[in-house]
Amino acid sequence: MSSKGILYLGQLVGLLLCFWGTASLAQEWQSLSESDRQMLQGFEGRWSQLNESQREQLLRGARRWSEMSSQQRRQARQQFNRWQKLPEERRIRLRDSYRRFMDLPEEKRQRIREAHKRFRQMSPEQRRQLRERWRDSEGDRRRAGRGERQRLERRQRRGEIEKG
């Protein structure tokens, strides 16, 4: 594998690690298996500077990568390329959304996954209609909230209720 390919693989492994937890895998460079060292050779020079968590993530990602089929690797590369092309602000928002999702209880995450699966199975027209209904209901909620705030402010100005 060329050095450019190794670097690319290292970046891809890093991305994959953003989405998967860690296991107790951190080791010193020389104690890694030959295949792990080869997969992670782009990190050799700074391995000792990485903390245990970073090492664990890299090892887990490298091992996950080595277990992927060629089709799974191709899809991972495509996803990584799309990720790289996103503006930094969008990547920050996505990372934040992912963290919030992972903070949810497992049962709620499962309900969200199932809803997403149902959404993906809808026809483009059904998705469009659902988005429109959601936008309309969001607008209604915002307008209702704005109306409620205005009523509250009027009552405060009339002295019917205290500000605060």
Query: Phi/psi zone of residue 159: left (φ > 0), alpha (ψ -120 to 50 degrees), beta?
Result: left
Whose CA is closest to 39, among 77, 8, 78? 8
Burial class of residue 43 in the structure, from the number of CB atoms within 10 Å of its CB (0-12 exposed, 13-18 middle, 19+ buried): buried
Which pLDDT belongs to residue 133?
Answer: 86
Q: Give the residue extent of every domain in the chain.
A: 3-105, 121-157
Render pLDDT for 53-63 as a digit per residue (tens, 0 to 9).
899 999 999 89
Question: Is the predicted pLDDT of residue 4 greater than 60, yes or no?
Answer: no
Torsion over CA: 123, 125, 130, 131 (sign): positive
In angstroms, the first-to-last Cα distance of the chain is 65
Q: In the chain, where does DSSP find H-type helix?
A: 3-18, 34-39, 52-67, 70-85, 88-103, 106-121, 124-157
d(CA 126, CA 124): 6
Which pLDDT belongs to residue 33?
Answer: 87
Render pLDDT for 145-155 as a digit per residue (tens, 0 to 9).
666 677 767 77
Reported as a pLDDT band with limits 50, 70 and 90, residue 18 is: low
The mean pLDDT value for 31-47 works out to: 89
Question: Is the predicted pLDDT of residue 135 greater than 80, yes or no?
Answer: yes
Burial class of residue 50 in the structure, from the number of CB atoms within 10 Å of its CB (0-12 exposed, 13-18 middle, 19+ buried): middle
Render pLDDT for 74-130 as a digit per residue (tens, 0 to 9).
999 999 999 999 999 999 999 999 999 999 999 999 999 999 999 999 999 999 998
Average pLDDT, the chain: 81
The identity of residue 29, as a single letter, is W
